Amino acid sequence: MIEVLLQAAVLVACGVVWRVLRPFGLEADNMRHVLSGLVYGLLLPALVLKVLTQVSLEINALRIALLAAGGVGFALLLTAVVCRACKTPRPAAGALLLAAAFGNVTYLGLPVLESVFGHWANEVAIEYDLFASTPLLLTVGVLLAQRYGGAREHDSFLFSLLKVPPLWAALLAILLNLGHVPIPHWINGLLDRLAAGVVPLMLIVVGLGLAWQRGWAKRLTLLVPLLWIKLLLLPLWVWWLAHAIGMQGDLLAAVVLEAAMPSMVLGIVLCDRYHLDSALYAEAVTVSTALAVLTLPGWLALLR
Q: What are the structural domain ranges in the chain?
A: 2-303
User: Cα angle at 71 between 54 and 204, to 5 degrees?
Assistant: 60
Longest Cα–Cα distance of the chain, Å, equals: 58
For residue 192, the tally of other CB atoms under 10 A from its CB is 12
Q: Which helix (H) or strand (E) holds 2?
A: helix 2-21
Query: What pLDDT score does 160 carry?
Result: 66
What is the distance between the alpha carbons of residues 208 and 27, in angstroms, rounded to a whole number?
Answer: 9
At position 77, the amino acid (one-letter code) is L
Query: What pLDDT score does 102 carry?
Result: 96
**pLDDT lower than 50: segments of the chain:** none
* Nearest one of 250, 239, 280, 242 to 263, comparing CA atoms: 280
* CATH 2.60.40.10 is right for the domain spanning 2-303: no
Q: Please give the DSSP secondary-structure letter assigned to residue 150.
A: S
CB pairs under 8 A, 24+ apart, for 32-36? 32/205, 32/208, 32/209, 35/201, 35/204, 35/205, 35/208, 36/205, 36/266
Query: What pLDDT score does 151 carry?
Result: 60
Q: What residues pair up with 103 in beta bridges, in sequence order?
A: 263
